[in-house]
Structure 1
Amino acid sequence: MNKQIIFNLPVQDLDRSKAFFSALGFTINPRYSNENALFMNVVDDTLHVMLMTEAFFESLINKPAVRARDANEVIICLSCESRDEVDSLIARAQAAGARIPHPPEDHGFMYDQGFEDLDGHLWNLVWTAPQE
């Protein structure tokens, strides 16, 4: 079995988050989803996100969840195949209700831009030029 990365994020409204991430093209795996959690493939079968209601998330950690609108502990960074893919995902995120905190940054060898999802979690999309 290949190693996988699964990160868990608390959300306030699971149905609203499902619609948001579906609009970005993330696929939902109903086998591991229920009324408390939604399991999604972000990148093929190696990177996944489990969106959990805040109450369910907190039941697993026995302490309050950080509200990402108030403070962040992590920025989720996804690599993209091209600048166009970065721009396309940003456009879809914005159309689905994301906040775009800054314009794209073009460093020549790297191009990136981020968005804040409906719960305030920060996502950064980055394309890097192939090394020759």
Structure 2
Amino acid sequence: MKPKTVVLSLPVADLERSLRFYRDGLGLSTEGIDGGAILFELPNLSLFLIEREEYGTYTERAGVGTPGAAVPGACVISCAIGSKAEVDDTLARAVAAGGAVPKPAGTYDGSYMGYFTDADGHLWELVFNAQTQSAPTPE
């Protein structure tokens, strides 16, 4: 398998609330709600937030799990971040937008890391690693 892009689809309880959290709170760009979903194009990732009922049609089609059921923390969405300050700023913005920070950011295994959850309990991990940030990019 050689994927050309990665798409992540997450079920959400309230599209308007999710739109406010991700667009207004975190500053991600989107065209808004379209057909029961919100799309955010991130570097190397297309993030779809889909209303739980609509998400259920996908899981029913695939024959897996309870249609539309979201298990908070069932996946971790990780992002490489450019600085410690950006990690801290993003955590503050997440809280201001209605999310939660389960524990303070800190240094783990040489990386500065912080975690936040959105209003549906999806867990985001923000990672700043000074060693990989300063490494030369391969040509």
Normalization by structure 1: what TM-score? Answer: 0.85
Cα RMSD of the aligned pairs, angstroms, is 1.9
Q: Is the 8 A contact 2:56 2:69 kept in 1?
A: no
Deviations 1:57-115 (A, max 9, x none): 0011114233334xx32111111011111011101001001111011121473100100
Count of residues in correspondence between the two structures = 125
Q: Is the 8 A contact 2:52 2:69 kept in 1?
A: no
Q: Is the 8 A contact 1:6 1:48 kept in 2?
A: yes
Matches within 5 A, 1:58-73: 58-62=56-60, 63-69=66-72, 72-73=73-74
Deviations 1:38-75 (A, max 9, x none): 111233xx212100000100011114233334xx3211
Is residue 114 of structure 2 the alignment partner of residue 113 of structure 1?
Answer: yes
* Equivalent residue number for residue 9 of structure 1: 10
Is residue 42 of structure 2 the alignment partner of residue 42 of structure 1?
Answer: yes
Decide which structure has the larger Cα Rg and report it.
2
| Partner secondary structure for residue 101 of structure 1 | coil
* Equivalent residue number for residue 125 of structure 1: 126
Q: Distance in 1 between matches of 2:31 and 2:7?
A: 13
Amino acid paired to 1:114:
Y
* Equivalent residue number for residue 100 of structure 1: 101
Q: Distance in 1 between matches of 2:103 and 2:80?
A: 18
Is residue 22 of structure 2 the alignment partner of residue 24 of structure 1?
Answer: no
* Equivalent residue number for residue 86 of structure 1: 87
Unaligned runs of 5+ in 1: none
Normalization by structure 2: what TM-score? Answer: 0.81
| Partner secondary structure for residue 4 of structure 1 | coil
Percent of aligned positions with the same letter in both sequences? Answer: 31
